Chain A
Amino acid sequence: MGELIGQTMQKQTSLYLELGGPGGLGSLNIERTCSQRKSVQFAYRIGLSSFPIDRNNGIVVVIPVGIHGIAGQAPHFMDVSVGQVISFTTKGKFHFLGTSAIGYRHQKTEKPVFFRLSYTPLISYLLTYQYQHWAGLTIGYTFLK
């Protein structure tokens, strides 16, 4: 993630581990920058997390997906996102949660490693509306070209 203002976007791929966040206790994610509008760079992410429930309910697979808007000047960025958390079990049950996030992202121009601290509430909306506070801490690696 370079300095965004006045630059044309360079598509980049990042791999990151997020503790907490929409994946639950943690998730492994891939992020890919996809477009740029004025000073905001957009990226999409898809993650993977999993945990067991019990013998009757099997294992849950959690897939957080989202669109991120990233703005600022290196090394300080604001990272805002909206997305969905898709969960399904090995016993055939599924559920969706909405998620949004706002956080601080620290990423130097020439360094591949970045950090992010985010407020990541989870929103149940399918059956009843429930809003849950949650947070995430990210350490990631950007594959620089």
Chain B
Amino acid sequence: MKYILPCLPLIFLTSCLTGLIQEGTTFLAEDFEGYSNTEDLFQGPSSKWGFFQQTESDNYIEFDTTRPHSGEQCLKIFAKKGREGFASKSDLANTDMGFREGDIIHVSMWFYIEGTKDLTDIFLFDIEENVQIGAGPGLRLALESPVGFLKIERRKMLESDIEPVEENQIPFPRNQWVHLEIEIQLSRNKDGYIQVFQNDTLLIDAQQERTLPRDRIVFIQGAKGIYDNVQVGITANSLQHDATIYVDDIEILQIN
């Protein structure tokens, strides 16, 4: 008994933390049709989104019927410019996903970005793991440079960013619908891959990559090897100016 008693707190902690591992879903599709107001996105048993992530009171989402990509409406998203040290977020989040090591994920989304402003450091899509210690490590699709070529940012999982080769650093088209696709094979070791397509053109083809977080010294702890969180919209805005984007026809699914 004297050896068992000291172990009880550890057994208790282990069971508490193990409860954090969720089964999750591997499919999410959203066309923004059939909603009358944005609260409906988060209500009901068939709700596809957990919450609207809003870090500034002026940030908002609303349905737009003037320029849907398909159907009757799309989602308009507005985010104030960020402040130094504080990202401005305005996005839809689902924290009930369950993509695991070895899964191949396919993401398809349509974006429309108004105007011709500088697109540096606008983030459009995050896939992350909720860890005990760490800042939601994962992969983030971002726009780089004023013209906004696509890159994969991995700073939160303490890995280097993945940028396209120079000839693929093409500007993000403005004032038109743009089809973005991402295919990821998940691996905590360096044997996964990430492919990013813009209007069916392969811009990033990164092989032998770590695509799923793992514990890193004391800076990331409790990584389970499960992406449980996706965010779509303006997951972080740049410091330069406010941004308005439109999004439609989102599909995120496991394909293997």
Chain A contacts to B: CB under 8 angstroms: 22-24, 49, 51, 53-57, 60, 62, 85, 87, 89, 93-97, 122, 124, 126-128, 130, 132, 134
Contact = CB atoms under 8 A, between A and B. Distances in A.
A24 B217 contact: yes
Contacts of B14: 126
A122 B135 contact: no
A130 B134 CA distance: 16
Given A57-B135, A95-B132, A126 B17 contact: yes
A56 B17 contact: no
A56 B135 contact: yes
A51 B135 contact: no
A95 B221 contact: yes
A53 B222 contact: no
A94 B135 contact: no
Contact of A55 (B85, B222, B223): B85
A27 to B, nearest CB: 10
Secondary structure class of chain B's binding surface, majority of residues: loop
Nearest to A49: B218
Interface in B18-40: 18, 20-21
Interface string B209-237: 00000111111011111000000000000
A97 B221 CA distance: 8
Nearest to B17: A126
Contacts of B255: none
A60 B21 CA distance: 22
Interface residues of B, number: 25
Contact of A53 (B86, B134, B214): B134
Contact of B219 (A24, A128, A130): A24
Given A127-B21, A128-B223, A134-B217, 10 more contacts: A53-B133, A56-B136, A57-B136, A60-B218, A94-B133, A122-B215, A124-B222, A126-B222, A127-B18, A128-B224
Interface in B166-210: none
A85 to B, nearest CB: 6
B13 interface: yes
B133 A96 contact: no
21 contacts: A22-B218, A53-B133, A53-B134, A56-B135, A56-B136, A60-B133, A87-B132, A87-B218, A89-B133, A97-B215, A122-B215, A124-B221, A124-B223, A127-B17, A127-B21, A127-B224, A128-B223, A128-B225, A130-B215, A132-B215, A132-B217
B217 A57 contact: no
Given A60-B133, A127-B18, A23 B222 contact: no
A93 B132 contact: yes
Contacts of A62: 218
B159 to A, nearest CB: 15
A127 B222 contact: yes
A54 B162 CA distance: 23
A98 B222 CA distance: 12
Nearest to B21: A127
Contact of B216 (A53, A56, A132): A132
B215 A124 contact: yes
A118 to B, nearest CB: 15
A20 to B, nearest CB: 9
Contacts of B217: 24, 122, 132, 134
